Structure 1
Amino acid sequence: MIRVNLNIAIVAMVKSRGHDKSNISQTSECLQATTQETIAMNETNGSLLIQNLESRFDWDEHQQSLILGGFFWFHWVLQVPGGILAQRYGTKLVFGLSNWIGCLLAALIPACASINYQAIVVLRVLQGIITGAAWPSMHTMAASWIPPNERSKFVTAYLGSSVGAAVTFPMCGFLIEWFDWPSVFYTTGVLGTMWYLAWYFIVFDTPAKHPRIAESERTYIESSLGYTVTKKKPPIPWKSILTSVPMWMNIFAQWGGIWGLFTLLTQAPTFFRYIHGMNVRMTGILSGIPHLCRVIVAIIVSFFGDYALKKEILSRTAVRKVATTICTLFNGLFVLGLAYSGCNSVAAIICLTLSVSCSGAVSTGPLASLVDIGPNFAGVVLGITNMITVAPGFISPIIVGKLTYQNQTSGQWQVVFLISAIMLFIAGILYLLFSSSDVQPWNSSSIPEKEMKVLNSKEPAEEEEKLKLNNETVPDTENNCP
């Protein structure tokens, strides 16, 4: 919510071309037949306060790209430290504070905007740095709570980011109409604070720390994890992780998927405004719907993925490859359709929706695979991945700003989407050819080779149970209990 609220608010923060006669020639050819008066009417239709042009700013495409991309410039700084901090202090503290502080900073954006656009860029950079610790810290909790054959469904909960986008875009569209754009940042800041209070009182780092969990459930979770997660983590094998082929295949898949998703996530409101002439309320609705569909697709794919694992229909690696094919190659096809949709608004909406929807399969693909290959270091592995794959978040807006600067045409936007499609195709092909989701040897050097093979089988339930029974006979020397 706090990452994307500016993407829709900036549509109302910047003065419309329709209010500047000298700039009407820059309008997209899709809107050549639209008069200045119609553009102005669309922008203010049903609104009370948005007509106050004093609250708008003269920011060109380059300045807007800096504002939109600033969040991601140093978003990578706390990615690896976030995973390490979560291993030491717990996901509850790291994830909670990272998001809450980001919410408090969001409420300061209107004050920064009144100074100049550079002030917003600085604030967004700070937001990006602090919230960078959130995502990698989640994998630490997932590795401690979720049995291997149920990870696809749980990691789908990460798609709460799409729920945030699906809610934020239309909600902010109405807030802008009713109360003007500053209300966007105050509202999301308050909602984020309410979330943090719920998180603080409800969430716990491990089943053992949960005060209300049933003993049977705690025993089931801890026994299901088997040897993949150890209580005392071995030293982080940096060299082995950084030279791991499965690790880099997940990075490539994430790079392509994030490039495609963030381009659409960040630029969709601007695209619909300038190319198809839609007002801020309709822009919010059309930008939000695809992300709701993304969550639905993520849930469906995750259920099929876990079902295929439990029924031994597919290996773990095969399940991850199928899901990654959906979130990269299928995604790329629909982005390609968007690139050639031209001035056809219906085609653009359909292709955008299907493209974003396909990206939901990432939770069963590369995201889940990162936990599969190294659950002991899940937070660190995701931190390394995010540190690299955060780059599209700031590179893409810069490219869009350069391509569309004083040239808002469907032809220029076609180039934007073609670049995204190419990224998705390359990532998908590499993943299909070289990826693996087996537990890697560097996850724990203490796991015997025989047991490692058991962990990497399609359905190791019986063998795992034998290993667990044997393991239970080992005395606990710390507590002097059998």
Structure 2
Amino acid sequence: MLKRTILWYMTFWGFAMNYMLRMNLNIAIVSMVKTIPKHVNLTKFSQCYISKEVPNNEFLNSTFLVINMNSVQKENTFEWDENQQNIVLGAFYWLHIIMQIPGGILSQKYSAKTIYGFSNGFVAFLTCFIPLSAYFKYRALVLIRIIQGFVAGAAWPAMYALTGKWIPPNERSHFMSAYLGCSFGTAMTYVTCGYISSFLGWEMIFYITGALGILWFLFWTLLVHDSPGEHPSIGKEERLYIEKSLGRSSGKTQIHPTPWKSIVFSVPLIVNIISQIGVSWGMYTLSIQAPSYFSFVLGLNLKQVGIWTGVPHLFSWLFSLVCGFVCDYLIKNKVLSTTNVRKLACMLCNLAQGLFILGLAYSGCNHVLAIVNLVLAVAMVGAASSGQFAGIVDLAPNYAGILQGLVGIVSMGITSISPIIVGLLTYQRQTIEQWQQVFMLSAAFCWITGLIYVLFGKSEMQSWNNKTNKQEIKPMI
């Protein structure tokens, strides 16, 4: 098996673990808190009242995602109010953006493999201590979540740096579908953790996911290396192919001063960042707010909400695979230029996503239509792996980790205000009309940022990528 194929599988499972370890508490907390707030029974307050379960539909009414409410009342332990619960859930993201640029710099300068592996491995290790910390002291649990988020912030830029060293330009669309392992991990977390908690107790959610993360770390350490030139068992033909396609010679990549001025004022990079803000805003709004919308407005019960907010992420992952193969085919066969392929993918992950978000806004009380639009909107995000995500590596593979660090800080910083805006629009006004404003705003973000990329985006390697070491690279013989 090709070593870059092994890298794809390890990257896919790495991102799946990364998101499983950050999302597991979202499900476990349902079983952890002792008192369920009165407003959990949302259906009778819903504008679109659903008086009873949909008959003869075992899948829609399955209990595998959310534990039976009666058993929750009996088995839960902690008396945390809503503010405390939100603090625990949000603590992961408080320091998350801090490691974006440092993670990229460390990955370019030292070892991207080590940074990515340690980021996931250490988070998995701390996950095993979440039950103990929760029983010991509430603040201890919050502290662990803060540390987990801080360390996990280095994962994405590190993987971009490793991609720049391993993956030829005409294979990046397919390879970066591995990044959508995060969608697979999210979906699997919602699907499996309900079962685990129901049969084994909420503590086992953290022991099992933590153990899986540590197991992944061991395989990552054994199977992955920083570059083809450093891999001890890579075939000569594969190594020469990768190095020639990237314009590099064997051995460790030489480190040169980072061209910060060129990076900061790079118009293609700025356009890419703008487009990723739109993708992130749409996806972030749907991931965080869809459960509230389905509960407060459409009146779906917790079982249905759990399923229909998890399933769309599976479609996003599958769609990323399809887009990856199609886009690489278009590039390899010179049907379209790399830039136009990235723009085509952007039209899907920005413009099409915005269209389906608008469809969600105008679905009214038709919960089936709302679910269809949600699934399609989230699925479209899978095209980002072949679009803007791959476009970052196209611009400067030598500095891909640093570029992704900048993208992460800006896009995550801006999209983090999304919940605040949603709160202002819907506070004590859980109506279809107010939520239409939420979704229309998200659709507008997707469309405007997508159009900017379609009009001005580029995916050509920038001159400053090799500016400092152009004379040191020996041509392949």
TM range (shorter): 0.7 to 0.9
**Residue correspondence of structure 1 range 237-256 to structure 2 within 5 A:** 237-256=259-278
Question: Over alpha carbons, which structure has the higher Rg?
Answer: 1
Output the amino acid matched with 1:351: N
Q: 1:201 aligns with which of 222, 246, 265?
A: 222
Q: Give the aligned partner of residue 183 of structure 2.
A: 162
Output the amino acid matched with 1:378: A
**CA deviation string 1:123-180 (max 9, x = no partner):** 4332221101110011111111111111111111111111101211111232343345
Note the residue ranges of structure 2 that are not aligned, 5 or more in a row.
1-19, 54-61
Check the 8 A contact 1:321/1:431 in 2, yes or no.
yes
* 2:96 is aligned with 1:75: yes
CA distance in structure 2 between the aligned counterparts of 1:409 and 1:9, rounded to whole angstroms: 29
Q: Give the aligned partner of residue 133 of structure 1.
A: 154
Output the amino acid matched with 2:255: K
Q: CA deviation at 1:201?
A: 1.4
Q: Give the aligned partner of residue 316 of structure 2.
A: 294
Q: 1:345 aligns with which of 367, 385, 390?
A: 367
Q: 1:52 aligns with which of 68, 74, 79?
A: 74
Judged with a 3 Å threshold, the aligned counterparts in structure 2 of structure 1 residues 129 and 45 are, in CA distance, closer, same or farther, namely closer
Judged with a 3 Å threshold, the aligned counterparts in structure 2 of structure 1 residues 329 and 228 are, in CA distance, closer, same or farther, namely farther
Q: CA deviation at 1:59?
A: 3.5
Aligned length: 446
* 2:108 is aligned with 1:87: yes
Judged with a 3 Å threshold, the aligned counterparts in structure 2 of structure 1 residues 182 and 407 are, in CA distance, closer, same or farther, namely farther
CA distance in structure 1 between the aligned counterparts of 2:271 and 2:193, rounded to whole angstroms: 37
* 2:416 is aligned with 1:394: yes
Judged with a 3 Å threshold, the aligned counterparts in structure 2 of structure 1 residues 243 and 402 are, in CA distance, closer, same or farther, namely same
CA distance in structure 2 between the aligned counterparts of 1:260 and 1:396, rounded to whole angstroms: 9
Q: Give the aligned partner of residue 258 of structure 1.
A: 280
Output the amino acid matched with 1:71: F
CA distance in structure 2 between the aligned counterparts of 1:128 and 1:345, rounded to whole angstroms: 34
CA distance in structure 2 between the aligned counterparts of 1:325 and 1:64, rounded to whole angstroms: 38
Q: 1:359 aligns with which of 381, 391, 396?
A: 381
Output the amino acid matched with 2:351: L
Judged with a 3 Å threshold, the aligned counterparts in structure 2 of structure 1 residues 169 and 253 are, in CA distance, closer, same or farther, namely same
Name the SS of the counterpart of 1:390 in structure 2.
helix
CA distance in structure 2 between the aligned counterparts of 1:120 and 1:29, rounded to whole angstroms: 37
Judged with a 3 Å threshold, the aligned counterparts in structure 2 of structure 1 residues 342 and 177 are, in CA distance, closer, same or farther, namely farther
Q: 1:3 aligns with which of 22, 28, 36?
A: 22
CA distance in structure 1 between the aligned counterparts of 2:369 and 2:249, rounded to whole angstroms: 47
| Higher deviation after alignment, 11-20 or 363-372 | 11-20
CA distance in structure 2 between the aligned counterparts of 1:404 and 1:177, rounded to whole angstroms: 33
Check the 8 A contact 2:42/2:295 in 1, yes or no.
no
Q: Give the aligned partner of residue 9 of structure 2.
A: none
- TM-score of the pair, normalised by structure 2: 0.83
Output the amino acid matched with 1:174: Y
Q: Give the aligned partner of residue 102 of structure 1.
A: 123
Q: CA deviation at 1:288?
A: 2.1
CA distance in structure 2 between the aligned counterparts of 1:2 and 1:264, rounded to whole angstroms: 20
Q: CA deviation at 1:380?
A: 0.8
Check the 8 A contact 2:323/2:386 in 1, yes or no.
yes
RMSD in angstroms over aligned alpha carbons?
3.2
| Higher deviation after alignment, 338-347 or 311-320 | 338-347
| Higher deviation after alignment, 166-175 or 223-232 | 223-232
